[in-house]
Structure 1
Amino acid sequence: MSPAARPSFAIGTVKIRPGHAREMGLPITKLVTGAEVTLPVRVLHGRQDGPVVWLDAAIHGDEVVGVEVIRRVLATLSPRTLRGTLVALPIVNVHGFMSGDRYLPDRRDLNRSFPGSPRGSLAGRIAHLMMREVIDKCEVGIDLHTGSDRRTNLPQIRADLDDPRTRSLAEAFGAPVMLHAKLRDGSLRAAARERGATVLLFESGEAMRFDQWAIEAGVTGVLRVLAALDMIDPVADASPTQSLVSRRSGWVRAGRSGIVHLDATLGQRVEVGDRLGGLSDSFGKTLRLVRADRAGLVIGRTTAPLVNRGDALVHIADIEGAEPPGVPDHPDAAEAFDALDEIPVL
């Protein structure tokens, strides 16, 4: 198909011709100083027909891994060879990103504010803008996240694994594990699904950190999905590993307050009763051991050294079906997982 045969892509007040890329800012609001705040967007409108896909990051302002994932993905793509259209939003929660805060200035969680309203709260207005200008024009989306404050996550996809197309794209992403995750009211994933979009939520790494293994896993996974959608040619040496599947997970919590020393590492297989670490007082006296309450795979853990009774320590996912020995090879994260083992106190 010639470039002229494909219509331009309209977003905001801009139209992007086939074979071109464009950066813009969608107006959100003004600061008290009068400075305008805009939602940064980059559109790659390919010469040839194909799916319209969005990538977004930093819906929680302190989750910076996805920002770098999108930067690196865009650096590999050209609208002259892309089949379809890619809409990239590296920083959705602009206010939170500028202040290093998970939430908006009014303490609202943007990811509980979709689909939003043009006359609602700041969160609602941002959500509505994103739905109107981006989600409603796309058929597939990848929502990039990290663990919340002082938690780190194994690279993982959370999605509706009972939907055949969603599962197919989750498998194409090739994260070490994919979790069947219920939709949450107010989330981007739930609102986009209501509009007919297929959505993958990627979790990897820790807030306010550029964990290289988390970034590399995200970049490779996104490119695999774009290749599976035939938007780009297959990525060399990026064939997906077979993801483990989980439909249930839970956190092991602190039995009492103290200083936590965790031995459990991301990607580790555990059995019921396995030692995950211990809690001590300030003089080093052991107060209580931390043990696994289920068999499965460690997909998340706290990085906080001080914990109170009831705090979440280690996230373990039950693994569906027969469990092969070990964890699928994940070269992007292997060195980082080994390094975590060497840190005596987290």
Structure 2
Amino acid sequence: MFEDSGNKTITIYGESVKPGEDKWIKIPIDRLPTGTLIDIPIYVFNAEKPGPTLLVQGGLHGDEINGVEIIRRMLYDNNFKIKNGAVIVLPLLNIFGFIHFSRQVPDGKDVNRSFPGVKNGSLAARIAYQVTHEVLPQVDFGIDLHTGGAQRHNHPQIRFTDDFLESRTLAKVFNAPFYFATSLIQKSFRKAAYDRKIPIIVYEGGESMRFDEYAIKEGIQGVLNVMKYVGMIDKIDPMLIEREVSEFLTKRKWLRAPTAGMFVPQVLNGSSIKKGEVLGFVTDTFADYCKEVKAPYDGFVFCINNQAVVNQGDALFHIGASTGSVI
């Protein structure tokens, strides 16, 4: 899948990591108002034997903590001790958002809408610039770990770029419950990588500011699946029951609130659904009305809004239909 051009010395922010070395690198990015310096922490695991370089990144949005925990556990369990190639690990990219319990940096900008960045621009643009110019040139492919935002809970899923064959292949290998193609968003991290012909898959699992044990385990398992596929590790001790089929969703649709009120879902996230099935309802506080939300076709629910009080038009369920692609 990837050309084996021989292992290499990896250099990030002037620090070199030779074959056979592991190193923790810190890129200074800014200071808190108190004067405390904030760094972007980067771990580099560089094996002696040649192979591809994988990027595993978490915390691009500061409130999406499941990806941060996935990487923390993998670091703790020495999962990145590889036999060939290299792994570059960014456990928490948006530290400012993390410490403020926020998706964005303090000025309200989204780092994932700021690529490829500007060296002397806004905080978000400077973070994006460092990743674009210091990290991306080193990697062959990557896994970007996310969760649902704004109280939307994503069942574990992988998103890939449709016209990028390597991206599709990695999505299948990851073997999450669902995978599907999504359009590239301008100024996103995935678009910046795509422009440099670097395949990136995006893992989504759980919701912001809430740990989800199942989503964390699926994420760890998926990263290990990819590492095994490219020959970085020999075997995997499965954390979950091995899945034979990862559902490839060929069409997707958001079901939205038909009116304002209290939203009460009636199905579990990740479950299969039948056309006409009542997935939930929106009701007022005085029981004067109850609007049902029904499935428009057979398929699956892979995202549910956990917001109890909604306005008309709010996204409630993300559903999709599958071809049942076998891994």
TM-score band by shorter chain is: over 0.9
Instruction: Say if 1:105 and 1:231 are closer, same or farther in 2 by CA, change over 3 A.
Output: same
Partner residue in 1 for 2:3: none
Amino acid at match of 1:197: I
1:292 lines up with 2:302 in the alignment: no
Residue by residue over 1:266-289, the C-alpha shift from the partner in whole angstroms, topping out at 9 and shown as x without a partner, is 121223321011122223444211
Give me the CA root mean square deviation: 2.0
Q: TM-score when scaled to structure 1? A: 0.87
Amino acid at match of 2:31: K
Partner residue in 1 for 2:107: 106
Aligned with 1:96: secondary structure? helix
Segment drifting more, 204-213 vs 154-163 = 154-163
Amino acid at match of 1:123: A
Residue by residue over 1:120-149, the C-alpha shift from the partner in whole angstroms, topping out at 9 and shown as x without a partner, is 221111101011111111011100000002
Q: Where in structure 2 are the equivalents of 1:202-241 lying within 5 Å?
A: 202-237=203-238, 241=244
Instruction: Say if 1:267 and 1:277 are closer, same or farther in 2 by CA, change over 3 A.
Output: same
Partner residue in 2 for 1:135: 136
Aligned with 2:118: secondary structure? coil
Instruction: Say if 1:141 and 1:6 are closer, same or farther in 2 by CA, change over 3 A.
Output: closer
Q: Is the 8 A contact 1:20 1:80 kept in 2?
A: no
User: In 1, distance between residues paired with 2:52 and 2:64?
Assistant: 27
Structure 1 residue 20 displacement after superposition: 2.4
Percent of aligned positions that are identical: 36
Gap regions ≥5 residues in structure 2: 1-5
Instruction: Say if 1:302 and 1:145 are closer, same or farther in 2 by CA, change over 3 A.
Output: same
User: In 1, distance between residues paired with 2:172 and 2:205?
Assistant: 16
Residue by residue over 1:7-30, the C-alpha shift from the partner in whole angstroms, topping out at 9 and shown as x without a partner, is 432111322232222112111112
Q: Where in structure 2 are the equivalents of 1:323-342 lying within 5 Å?
A: none
Q: Is the 8 A contact 2:8 2:50 kept in 1?
A: no
Amino acid at match of 2:264: H
Aligned with 1:67: secondary structure? helix
Residue by residue over 1:181-232, the C-alpha shift from the partner in whole angstroms, topping out at 9 and shown as x without a partner, is 1111111001001112111000011110110000000000000001101111
Structure 1 residue 296 displacement after superposition: 1.7
Aligned with 1:277: secondary structure? strand
Segment drifting more, 227-236 vs 29-38 = 29-38
Q: Is the 8 A contact 2:24 2:44 kept in 1?
A: yes
Amino acid at match of 1:241: E
Structure 1 residue 166 displacement after superposition: 1.7
Amino acid at match of 1:272: K
Structure 1 residue 240 displacement after superposition: 5.1
Structure 1 residue 78 displacement after superposition: 6.5
Partner residue in 2 for 1:46: 47
Q: TM-score when scaled to structure 2? A: 0.92
Q: Is the 8 A contact 2:7 2:85 kept in 1?
A: no
Q: Is the 8 A contact 1:50 1:84 kept in 2?
A: yes
1:123 lines up with 2:150 in the alignment: no
Structure 1 residue 259 displacement after superposition: 0.9
Segment drifting more, 58-67 vs 228-237 = 228-237
Gap regions ≥5 residues in structure 1: 329-346
Partner residue in 2 for 1:341: none
Counterpart pick for 1:255 among 258, 265, 276: 258
Partner residue in 2 for 1:336: none
Structure 1 residue 94 displacement after superposition: 1.0
User: In 2, distance between residues paired with 1:110 and 1:81?
Assistant: 30
Q: Is the 8 A contact 1:263 1:277 kept in 2?
A: yes
1:314 lines up with 2:325 in the alignment: no
Q: Is the 8 A contact 1:7 1:18 kept in 2?
A: yes
Structure 1 residue 108 displacement after superposition: 0.9
User: In 2, distance between residues paired with 1:244 and 1:161?
Assistant: 16
Aligned with 1:289: secondary structure? strand
Partner residue in 1 for 2:66: 65
Instruction: Say if 1:110 and 1:257 are closer, same or farther in 2 by CA, change over 3 A.
Output: same
User: In 1, distance between residues paired with 2:245 and 2:178?
Assistant: 8
User: In 1, distance between residues paired with 2:250 and 2:136?
Assistant: 27
Amino acid at match of 1:96: G
